[in-house]
């Protein structure tokens, strides 16, 4: 029973450098927190088992840690994996986009369609006026009303 207790205690508390062979005997060196050092002689079979356990623990730790990669240390095309934007600017940009979407929902379908043609489809005002059968000034007037309405909703 003492052999088993010694084995598990030594296996749990041994640093790899704490086991060495000296004069044909295996010695376990314990270094306590208070600085006291104690050495115990053990049989070669116990020493070999402890060395084998140390090797297995090292191999297991090495096998697990080599699969883990820190994204902080990774680089992609010379750039570190992180956003180049300021977090506060990103929050403000999202908030503005959300408020603008809400304001757009308050416009009539015709007003939204006009904004879509001008800003997303890049259709010239002259072409929109010609297709609608109205003057260019009428389209500019509609856009002016839309801008005023959006400004009212956003403020």
pLDDT at residue 15 in the model: 43
pTM: 0.43
Please count the structural domains in the chain. 2
User: Do 114 and 56 share a structural domain?
Assistant: no
State which residues form the domain around 58.
2-65
22: enclosing H helix or E strand: strand 19-22
Average pLDDT, consecutive stretches of 10 residues, N- to C-terminus, the chain (155 residues): 46 52 75 83 80 82 65 54 69 88 90 91 93 93 93 85
Name residues whose C-beta falls within 8 Å of residue 101's C-beta, 6 or more positions apart in sequence: none
CA distance 125 to 137: 9
The answer to whether position 24 is within a domain reads: yes
User: Domain holding 119: CATH number?
Assistant: 1.10.10.10
């Amino acid at each position: 029973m003492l052999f088993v207790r010694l084995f598990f205690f030594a296996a749990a508390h041994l640093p790899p450098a704490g086991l060495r062979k000296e004069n044909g005997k295996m010695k376990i060196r314990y270094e306590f927190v208070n600085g006291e050092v104690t050495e115990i002689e053990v049989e070669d079979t116990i020493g070999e088992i402890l060395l084998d356990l140390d090797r297995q623990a090292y191999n297991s730790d090495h096998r697990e840690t080599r699969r883990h990669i820190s994204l902080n240390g990774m680089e992609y095309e010379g750039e570190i994996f992180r956003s180049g934007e300021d977090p506060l600017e990103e929050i403000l940009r999202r908030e503005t986009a959300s408020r603008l979407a809400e304001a757009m929902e308050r416009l009539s379908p015709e007003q939204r369609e006009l904004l879509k043609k001008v800003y997303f489809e890049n259709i010239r005002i002259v072409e929109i006026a010609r297709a609608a059968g109205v003057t260019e000034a009428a389209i500019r007037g509609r856009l002016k009303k839309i801008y005023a309405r959006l400004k009212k909703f956003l403020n």
